Amino acid sequence: MKLIDLLQKCAYTLDSGSLDINIRDVIYDSRKVIRGCAFVALKGYNVDGHKFIPDAVERGAKALIVEDEGVAYEGVTVVRVKDARATLALMSVEFFGRPAEELTTIAVTGTKGKTTTVAMIRSILENAGIKTGTIGTLGILIGDRIYKTNNTTPESYEIQQAMRRMISEGCRAMVIEASSLGLKWHRTDGILFDYGIFTNFSSDHIGDSEHKDMAEYLASKSLLFKRCKTGIINIDDENADGVTKGHTCAIETYGYSENAELVAHGDKLIAKRGFIGVHFKTTGVKELSVDVAIPGRFSVYNALAAIAVCRHFELSDENILDGLRTVKVKGRVEVVPTPGNYTMLIDYAHNAVSMENVLSTLREYKPHRLITMFGAGGNRPKNRRFEMGEVSGKLSDLSVVTEDNSRFEDVNDIIADIKVGLDKVGGKYIVIPNRIDAIRYCIEHAEPGDIIVLAGKGHEDYQEIRGVKYHMDEREIIADILDDHSDDEDDSGNR
């Protein structure tokens, strides 16, 4: 593709060379440079891509997209821009043939609920036969395949590449988690989303390398509603007006408020064998009686957002109801089937705040016992361990303390720190350092009516020890343990 065509939507200055050259690829990582590509020098918080320009040229870069003046190499085109990240996004759009124009695109932003809301939307649409790709915390999901990514909202090149792959594999819709940093750092630039969703807003991501304060954090999220055709807003959130300030899209609303266009009411918790979730009804633009297969009243808001956007597609009410009744979010209060009369969940909660949210939610279901198995990451702040111990000690009937990505620390030292928090609040606990043994203990000692939470790993399929990531998927471990028990029953003559 000609460089001049890649730059057609960009503001730039040609410092040297020609724009009438063919470009084989657009690359922003100098280690991946191929001969004949354009190298885009990004300035990150810790690393400046301009430092790697000599390496990119040596590897055969044909054009350089830079922010700094004075870059010059014989036989190499140099294009200077104000913001290389924004330029990368627009170049990627052209390089992959404007894939967003061939999909119905949905972006979800908010402090909490993005991953779950994206999963709910996908579940509904696929139930209606609308193949849907997603991009977010769990990676890029197309069909049954997951492509791992480094960020919730990947770099713009990866987003455009993923959408082109989705189209080639028969997808008709794409749903993405639009993080505040993804919006701030131009990763979604060049896409006019069909729908933008706002879930909620609370304190998060404040710091030198993220947002300087809450005002900037909110302003970054509000960018979505200048880049979509229809904005779908949680009207109950106190920052709803702030996030839509200066919006250029049509606005629709959902919530418990009677002023919302889609209203929820009559919610109640549901717990039965093989299902833990919430029931509610909706009135307004859509009247439904809904069961959601994810526990907690906060699931109502996520489901409302999913209903609010999916009603715009050609699908039936039954598609919506079936999609929400069967939805699963890998590693987010994910129910794992077991033969016993108890509920086993896998959740990503790996700090005190997320653990408190999950355990407080599950306590509302009034289990016989709430058992929490967890550890804490090595080479991370010790306070996190104390706090997790306190939270589990207060909210769990039993804590099973084990390992979780101990990294370069001794797992027993980490457990000792967790015990400080448990002892402070008088929590009941047992220590089983090996995580597989800890899971086996939970299964073998489960009692009818128990809710057991395996916290910390969630969607992760590895255990990191001494710098090495070993494969470990808790779903596989549970299945193996249950198979062992089944074999034991067969060997003893019990059929």
Residue written as tokens 């509920």? 343
Residue 205 placed within a domain = yes
Residue 435 placed within a domain = yes
Over residues 61-84, the pLDDT tens digits come to 999 999 999 999 999 999 999 999
Decide if pLDDT at 417 tops 70.
yes
Confidence of residue 44 (pLDDT cuts 50, 70, 90): confident
Residue 494 placed within a domain = no
Residue 197 CA to residue 371 CA, distance in Å, equals 35
Decide if pLDDT at 185 tops 70.
yes
Residue 405 CA to residue 466 CA, distance in Å, equals 9
pLDDT at 218: 86
pLDDT at 382: 92
Indicate whether 267 and 175 sit together in one domain: yes
Residue 202 CA to residue 112 CA, distance in Å, equals 8
Confidence of residue 353 (pLDDT cuts 50, 70, 90): confident
Of 177 and 46, more confident: 177
Amino acid occupying residue 298: F
pTM assigned to the model: 0.88
pLDDT at 488: 63
Over residues 111-122, the pLDDT tens digits come to 888 999 999 999
Q: How many CB atoms lie within 10 A of CB 217?
A: 23
Residue 5 CA to residue 20 CA, distance in Å, equals 9
In sequence order, which residues have a C-beta less than 8 Å from that of residue 295 and are 6 or more positions away? 269, 271, 276, 277, 278, 333, 345, 361, 362, 365
Q: Give the residue from 269, 303, 325 where a domain finishes.
A: 325
Decide if pLDDT at 491 tops 80.
no
Indicate whether 42 and 160 sit together in one domain: no
Here the CATH number for the domain that contains residue 37 is 3.40.1390.10
Q: Give the residue from 95, 123, 138 where a domain finishes.
A: 95
Q: What is the mean pLDDT of residues 393-416?
A: 97
Residue 447 placed within a domain = yes
Confidence of residue 323 (pLDDT cuts 50, 70, 90): very high
Residue 168 placed within a domain = yes
**Number of domains, the chain:** 3
pLDDT at 42: 96
The domain containing residue 110 runs over which residues?
Answer: 99-325
Residue 240 placed within a domain = yes
Indicate whether 151 and 67 sit together in one domain: no
Instruction: Extract the runs of DSSP E, i.e. beta strands, from 188-286.
Output: 193-198, 228-234, 250-255, 262-272, 275-284
Here the CATH number for the domain that contains residue 380 is 3.90.190.20
Q: What is the mean pLDDT of residues 428-433?
A: 98
Decide if pLDDT at 412 tops 70.
yes
Q: What is the mean pLDDT of residues 287-292?
A: 98
Q: Hey, which of 125-139, 200-214, 270-284 has the most confident mean pLDDT? A: 125-139
Report the percentage of the chain scoring pLDDT > 90: 85
Decide if pLDDT at 148 tops 50.
yes
Q: What is the mean pLDDT of residues 9-31?
A: 97
Of 412 and 180, more confident: 412
Decide if pLDDT at 173 tops 60.
yes
pLDDT at 220: 87
Q: Give the residue from 277, 298, 325 where a domain finishes.
A: 325
Q: Provide the mean pLDDT of the chain.
A: 94
In sequence order, which residues have a C-beta less than 8 Å from that of residue 409 and are 6 or more positions away? 378, 379
Indicate whether 253 and 393 sit together in one domain: no
Decide if pLDDT at 210 tops 80.
no
Token digits of residue 181: 């940093």
pLDDT at 390: 98
Residue 176 CA to residue 154 CA, distance in Å, equals 10
